[in-house]
A and B are shown apart, each in its own frame.
Chain A
Amino acid sequence: MSTATVETPPQDAVPAASHLITVTFRLRRFNPEVSAEAAWVDYPLEIDPKERVLDALHKIKWEIDGTLTFRRSCAHGICGSDAMRINGRNRLACKTLIKDINPEKPITVEPIKGLAVLKDLVVDMEPFFQAYRDVMPFLITTGNEPTRERLQSPEDRERFDDTTKCILCAACTTSCPVFWNDGQYFGPAAIVNAHRFIFDSRDEGGEQRLEILNEKDGVWRCRTTFNCTDACPRGIEVTKAIQEVKRALITRRF
């Protein structure tokens, strides 16, 4: 493109490369076997801005530095493996287009906060899943098992529809300042999944779950900062769900 010749039409040669732009990816690298300190490393890439951040991470891992470690499974926003802090916000790398996050400046990618980093972008999810297990995210019923499926009206289903969308990516819990400071807090994701069963008309364990969330590290630690609602890649109104659990706890007493 730099040398313009008379007879060649520029349209033929230029479009092949012109959709690529140079983007700097600034990754938070950490390898406990090399250094106890994490460090920012820059990776300049020639990449199509319509690609996703995950594609850029693949390009770095496959073509530049194979030691880069991150989680991803489905790569299409369903499995919830690749939640990471991109430009300071928790997002799914597979649902974030490079053109949407200002590729003129370096794009920072770091692990989600509040959980122990194992390597590079991989964190220990165990405390997160422990909180999830603690709210008993399964159907609890009494009496004999019915001979047919448990029916439910569309209105009853609609009541908890929003919280069924959770993919357990931990973007909400690790955006919560209370969770950053005290990992004992259940966190938004666990409360969302408790909400999904508390407001299910077929479930009979709501009272037990409310009792669990009424404890010291339950919903009352929520400070209503809305970080979780902003972070959720599935668009769940997380803070609203937490407030609904609070309301259920209060109306249960009064």
Chain B
Amino acid sequence: MSTETSPTSSVEMTSSSAAHSPDNPAPVIQPPRARTGRAPRSTRTNFEMYGWLFMRLSGIVLVVLVLGHLVIQLVLDGGVSRIGFAFVAGRWASPFWQFWDLLMLWLAMLHGANGMRTIINDYSERDNTRFWLKMVLYTATVFTVLLGTLVIFTFDPNIR
């Protein structure tokens, strides 16, 4: 009667749970990023829908623009060997080709950026990673689009 026997010591514990006790709990299972009641409610906008529609519509237009671009640049009339400063200058003398290249630049860049945004949303696991990857993406997109637009509109064929 010298010691009190605790209820647990009298019970034969099975091997699977013998190692764990309130002091030494079983390892916590890593939960997935679960949907909870507190999951962020996004604002009621149609942004995702317009993004989805834009991918389809710009994709159709880009098939024509990019394939046409490739045929003109690489196949027709001597192909890639005739491309030079004079060739580009000659094409951009026409507003039609200016418009073609401008449209292609904007659509391709936004199409690609939206696709990358989708991939980042799908695969980045931490909020911080997601945020910074998107910042890099948006910076690159804005830079490329603005620089390209600037060049198309301010191109000077007589530059020395």
A residues with a Cβ closer than 8 A to B are: 31-34, 36, 67, 114-118, 124, 126-127, 130-131, 134, 177-178, 181-184, 186, 211, 214-218, 220-221, 223, 246, 249-250, 253
Total interface residues on B, CB under 8 Å, equals: 29
Closest A residue by C-beta to B28: A32
Q: A134-B35, A211-B44, A215-B41 are in contact. Are A246 and B52 (CB under 8 A)?
A: yes
Q: Are A214 and B46 interface neighbours, CB within 8 A?
A: yes
Residues of chain B within 8 A of A178, CB atoms compared? 122
A67 to B14, CA, bound (A): 11
New A-B contacts (8) at CB < 8 Å, excluding given A116-B29, A216-B42:
A31-B16, A32-B27, A117-B29, A131-B35, A184-B35, A215-B44, A249-B49, A253-B49
Q: How far is the CA of A126 from the CA of B31 in the complex (A)?
A: 11
Chain A residues with CB under 8 Å of B37's CB are 130
- Candidates A32, A134, A181, A221; contact of B29 at CB < 8 Å: A32
Q: Which residues of A contact B29 (CB under 8 A)?
A: 32, 116-118, 124
- How many A-B contacts if CB must be within 8 Å? 77
Is A182's CB under 8 angstroms from B33's CB?
A: yes
- Given A118-B29, A218-B48: A127 and B35 interface contact (C-beta under 8 Å): yes
**In the complex, per-residue mask of B2-33: 1 if CB is within 8 Å of any chain A CB, else 0:** 00000000000000110110000011011111
* Dominant secondary structure at the B interface: loop
Contact A130 to B31, CB < 8 A, known contacts A178-B122, A220-B52, A246-B52: no
Q: Judge whether B46 and A183 touch: CB under 8 Å.
A: no
* Residue in B20, B31, B41, B49 whose beta carbon sits within 8 Å of that of A220 in the complex: B49
Known: A182-B121, A214-B49, A220-B49. A116 touches B39 (CB 8 A): no
Chain A residues near B96 (CB, 8 Å)? Answer: none
What DSSP secondary structure best describes chain A's contact surface?
Answer: loop
Output the residue of B35, B44, B122, B125 with the most chain A CB within 10 A: B35
- Chain B residues with CB under 8 Å of A183's CB are 32-35
Q: In the complex, what's the smallest C-beta–C-beta distance from A129 to chain B, in angstroms?
A: 9
| CB closest chain-B residue, reference A33 | B26
State whether A127 touches B51 (Cβ < 8 A).
no
Contact of A250 among B17, B35, B53 (CB under 8 A): B53
- Closest chain-B Cβ to A134's Cβ sits at a distance in Å of 7
Interface string of B34-77 (1 = CB under 8 A from A): 11110101101010110111000000000000000000000000
Complex Cα gap A115–B30 (Å): 10
CB neighbours of A220 from chain B (8 A): 48-49, 51-52
Q: Pick 25 A–B contacts, CB within 8 A, sort by A.
A: A32-B27, A32-B29, A33-B17, A33-B20, A34-B19, A36-B27, A114-B32, A116-B31, A118-B29, A127-B32, A127-B35, A181-B123, A181-B125, A182-B33, A182-B122, A183-B34, A183-B35, A214-B48, A214-B49, A215-B44, A217-B39, A220-B48, A221-B121, A223-B122, A249-B49
